[in-house]
Amino acid sequence: PAAIHRADYRPPDWLVPAIALEFDLDPARTVVRARLEVARNGEHDRALRLDGEELELLSLAVDGQAVDPQFEDGQLVVPLTGASAVVETEVAIRPQVNTKLMGLYASGGLLCTQCESQGFRRITWFPDRPDVLSRYRVRMSADRQRFPVLLSNGNPVDGGEGPDGTHWAQWEDPFPKPCYLFALVAGELSVNRDSFTTASGREVELGIWVREDDLAKTGHAMRALKDSMAWDERTYGREYDLDRFNIVAVSDFNFGAMENKGLNIFNTRYVLADRETASDADFDAVAAVVAHEYFHNWSGNRVTCRDWFQLSLKEGLTVFRDQSFSEDMGSQAVERIDQVRTLRAAQFPEDAGPLAHPIRPDSYIEITNFYTATVYNKGAEVIRMLRTILGPDDYRRGTDLYFERYDGQAVTCEDFVQALEDASGHDLTQFRRWYSQAGTPTIRARLVQEDGAAVLHLTQSTPPTPGQADKLPMVVPLRTALIGRESGREVAGEQVVLLTEAEQTVRFEGVTEPALLSINRDFSAPVIMQVERAAGELEALAISDTDSFARYEAIQELALRELLKGIGGGEVQADPVIAALRSTLLSNALDPAFKADALILPSETMLAERLDQSDPSVVHRVRDDLRAAIGTALRSELEDAYAASSRADPESLTGEDKGLRRLRAATLGYLAAADPERARALAAAQFDAARTMTERQSALGMLAMVGGSEAEAALGAFYERFKGDPLVIDKWFGVQASVAAEDTIERVEALAAHPDFTLANPNRLRALAGSFAATPFAFHRADGRGYEWLADVILKADAINPQTAARFVPPLGRWRKVEPGRAALMRSALERILAAPGLSKDVFEQASKSLG
Ligand code: B3K
Ligand code: ZN
Residues 150 and 113 sit within 8 Å (Cβ to Cβ): no
Does residue 366's CB lie within 6 angstroms of at least one atom of ligand 1? no
Whether residue 540 lies inside any domain: the answer is no
Does residue 293's CB lie within 6 angstroms of at least one atom of ligand 1? yes
| Same domain membership, residue 495 and residue 412 | no
Q: What pLDDT does residue 570 have?
A: 98
Give me the residues of the chain with pLDDT under 70, please. none
> Which residue's alpha carbon is nearest to atom 8 within ligand 1?
258
Whether residue 588 lies inside any domain: the answer is yes
| Same domain membership, residue 177 and residue 51 | yes
Length of the chain: 852
Phi/psi for 259 (5° steps) reads -90, 25
Question: What is the Å distance from ligand 1's center to 257 Cα?
Answer: 7
Whether residue 267 lies inside any domain: the answer is no
> Which residue's alpha carbon is nearest to atom 10 within ligand 1?
315
Q: What is the CATH number of the domain that holds 102?
A: 2.60.40.1730
What are the distances in angstroms from CA 632 to CA 145, 173, 626, 638, 664? 63, 63, 10, 9, 17
Question: What is the Å distance from ligand 2's center to 334 Cα?
Answer: 22
Residues 181 and 123 sit within 8 Å (Cβ to Cβ): no
Does residue 258's CB lie within 6 angstroms of at least one atom of ligand 1? yes
What are the distances in angstroms from CA 579 to CA 64, 280, 570, 627, 636? 81, 29, 20, 13, 14
> Which residue's alpha carbon is nearest to atom 1 within ligand 1?
258
| Same domain membership, residue 513 and residue 410 | no
Query: Nearest-CA neighbor of 682 among 716, 646, 718?
Result: 646
pLDDT tens column, 218-277: 999 999 999 999 999 999 999 999 999 999 999 999 999 999 999 999 999 999 999 999
Concatenated DSSP letters of 128-160: -STT-EEEEEEEEEEETTT--EEEESSEEEEEE
What is the distance between the terminal CA atoms of the chain, rounded to a whole angstrom?
A: 16
Does residue 842's CB lie within 6 angstroms of at least one atom of ligand 1? no
- For 387, half-sphere exposure in the C-beta direction (CA atoms, 13 angstrom radius) is 16
Whether residue 269 lies inside any domain: the answer is no
- Residue ending a domain, among 532, 552, 580, is 532
Does residue 117's CB lie within 6 angstroms of at least one atom of ligand 1? yes
Does residue 259's CB lie within 6 angstroms of at least one atom of ligand 1? yes
Q: What is the CATH number of the domain that holds 780?
A: 1.25.50.10
- Residue ending a domain, among 674, 692, 710, is 674
Q: What pLDDT does residue 727 have?
A: 98
**Three-state helix/strand/coil letters over 811-848:** HHHHHHHECHHHHHHHHHHHHHHHHCCCCCHHHHHHHH
| Same domain membership, residue 419 and residue 518 | no
Neighbours of 454 (CB within 10 A): 22
Query: Nearest-CA neighbor of 786 among 758, 759, 815, 817?
Result: 815
Query: Nearest-CA neighbor of 421 among 397, 457, 405, 453?
Result: 397
| Same domain membership, residue 168 and residue 42 | yes
Whether residue 214 lies inside any domain: the answer is no
Angle at Cα 597 formed by Cα 596 and Cα 602, nearest 5°? 125
Mutate to test the pocket of ligand 1, among 102, 114, 115, 116 (most ligand atoms within 8 A of CB): 116
| Same domain membership, residue 623 and residue 512 | no
Does residue 368's CB lie within 6 angstroms of at least one atom of ligand 1? yes
Instruction: Write the DSSP symbol of residue 39.
Output: E
The total number of structural domains that make up the chain: 5
| Same domain membership, residue 449 and residue 432 | no
What whole-number distance in Å separates Cα of residue 190 and Cα of residue 192? 7
Atom of ligand 1 nearest to the CA of 368: 7
| ipTM, two decimals | 0.99
Question: What is the Å distance from ligand 2's center to 27 Cα?
Answer: 28
| Same domain membership, residue 469 and residue 410 | no
| Same domain membership, residue 446 and residue 419 | no
Neighbours of 28 (CB within 10 A): 10
Query: Nearest-CA neighbor of 523 among 336, 366, 348?
Result: 336
Query: Nearest-CA neighbor of 339 among 100, 523, 606?
Result: 523
What whole-number distance in Å separates Cα of residue 363 and Cα of residue 3? 6
> Which residue's alpha carbon is nearest to atom 7 within ligand 1?
368
Neighbours of 738 (CB within 10 A): 19
The number of angstroms, rounded, from the C-alpha of 52 to the middle of its chain's C-alpha atoms is 29
| Same domain membership, residue 463 and residue 425 | no
> Which residue's alpha carbon is nearest to atom 4 within ligand 1?
116
| Same domain membership, residue 417 and residue 456 | no
Residue 498 — left, alpha, or beta (φ > 0 → left; ψ -120 to 50 → alpha)? beta
Looking at the whole model, is its pTM more than 0.90?
yes
According to DSSP, the β-strands at 84-93 and 528-532 are unpaired
What are the distances in angstroms from CA 634 to CA 101, 106, 398, 671? 50, 54, 50, 9
Domain span including residue 518: 442-532
Enzyme catalytic residues: 293
- Residue ending a domain, among 393, 418, 436, is 436
Whether residue 606 lies inside any domain: the answer is yes
What whole-number distance in Å separates Cα of residue 445 and Cα of residue 455? 10
Query: Nearest-CA neighbor of 790 among 829, 757, 824?
Result: 829
Question: What is the Å distance from ligand 1's center to 115 Cα?
Answer: 9
Q: What pLDDT does residue 852 have?
A: 86
> Which residues contact residue 175 at a Cβ distance below 8 angstroms, ignoring those fewer than 6 apart?
135, 154, 241, 242, 261, 301, 302, 408
H helix runs in 301-378, sequence order? 311-329, 332-342, 348-351, 373
Question: What is the Å distance from ligand 1's center to 142 Cα?
Answer: 28
Residues 40 and 87 sit within 8 Å (Cβ to Cβ): no
Whether residue 279 lies inside any domain: the answer is no
Query: Nearest-CA neighbor of 594 among 338, 377, 284?
Result: 338
Does residue 371's CB lie within 6 angstroms of at least one atom of ligand 1? yes
| Same domain membership, residue 24 and residue 132 | yes
Question: What is the Å distance from ligand 1's center to 565 Cα?
Answer: 41
Whether residue 664 lies inside any domain: the answer is yes
